[in-house]
Amino acid sequence: MTAEELLKKVRLIEFKSKRKINSLFLGEYHSSFKGVGMTFSEVRQYQYGDDVRKIDWNKTARFNEPFVKIFEEEREMISMILIDISASMNFGTRKQFKNDTVAEISATLAFSAIKNNDKVGLILYSDKIESFIPPKKGNSHVVRMIKEILETEPKPAQTNLNLVFDFLLKTIKRKSNIFLISDFDIPNFERSLSIVTKKHDITGIRVYDDIEKIFPNIGLVKFKDLETGKIQWINTSSSKIREEYSKYYAMLVTRVENTFTKNGAGFLNIPTQGDYIKVLFNYFKGHH
């Protein structure tokens, strides 16, 4: 991709993302992810039903009647977008490649965050941390993130989520909204996920292509594992092989989803050819 083509693609994704973030979507995003702290706002006279723990005893003693402290939620949050850039993410057969869908989803989440006056940051990972952009505000910051996502070449390596979670805990100290994007064809990561969910709010976003669910009947085909480089021939005309693959795939998806829900984390499945805005909207609506 030339510099000109890259810029054109970045601008297109920026335009599409901003157009899709309507007031309804932003409202759902805002109410889904509330601030984590409370700031002192004012003192007023006690009213029936007020929490007695909030009584301002100094003012109460001075005026000989009860007063309470009023607090407001700190609205500003941090959102971190963590993206798997291992080679399996560079795959697609219908509408577009997984990594194109990932760039659009990330841009939508990032622009929603800054519209909400939140900071947003980015981590690109494979078997190591490939790129880290610390959380900031601003349109130009999000454009830089999109450019980084599109510019980074997929890595022929297996994903190491344990390393990513360790880096996240060391780097982002304040409780944040974490969007973890991958196809989750990943070895066991449940233990490290359970540690991170105690500190941050996590949503797993699984991006997949429909062809991955069901092998098409196209005869004897040579397959190359994009992450390991291993090559093998598979007879796709065998109904038994296709059936076994479908069972394995369904089991893999269920296992990943259960890993997230068991640890109190959110989980979404988004196909490359689907309407990701509708999936995100429904998720935020149910996340209140």
pLDDT of residue 43: 84
In degrees, to the nearest 5, what angle opens at C-alpha 278 toward C-alphas 276 and 280?
70
Same domain, 142 and 22: yes
Domain boundary among 50, 74, 98: 74
Same domain, 125 and 52: no
Segment 52-66, tens digit of pLDDT: 888 889 889 988 999
Name the helix (H) or strand (E) containing 284.
Answer: helix 276-286
Same domain, 63 and 85: no
Same domain, 96 and 43: no
**23: pLDDT strictly greater than 60:** no
Domain boundary among 46, 74, 102: 74
| 179-184 average pLDDT score | 92
Same domain, 67 and 90: no
Question: Can you give the pTM of this predicted structure?
Answer: 0.75
Helix (H, G, I), strand (E, B) or coil at 95: coil
pLDDT of residue 141: 95
Same domain, 69 and 131: no
Tally of domains in the chain: 2
Rounded to a whole number of angstroms, the distance between the first and last alpha carbons of the chain is 41
Same domain, 145 and 159: yes
Contact 200, 178 (CB under 8 A): yes
Same domain, 120 and 162: yes
Same domain, 151 and 220: yes
Q: Could you tell me the CATH number of the domain that includes residue 161?
A: 3.40.50.410
Contacts of 179 (CB under 8 A, 6+ apart): 79, 80, 81, 82, 106, 109, 203, 205
Same domain, 137 and 156: yes
Q: How far is CA 68 from the centre of its chain?
A: 39
Structural domain range at position 47 = 38-74
Segment 186-236, tens digit of pLDDT: 777 899 999 999 999 999 999 988 777 777 667 777 666 655 667 877 777
Same domain, 56 and 165: no
Contact 43, 67 (CB under 8 A): yes
Residue 89 neighbours by CB distance under 10 Å:
25
**130: pLDDT strictly greater than 70:** yes
pLDDT of residue 1: 63
pLDDT of residue 265: 94
Same domain, 249 and 118: yes
**176: pLDDT strictly greater than 70:** yes
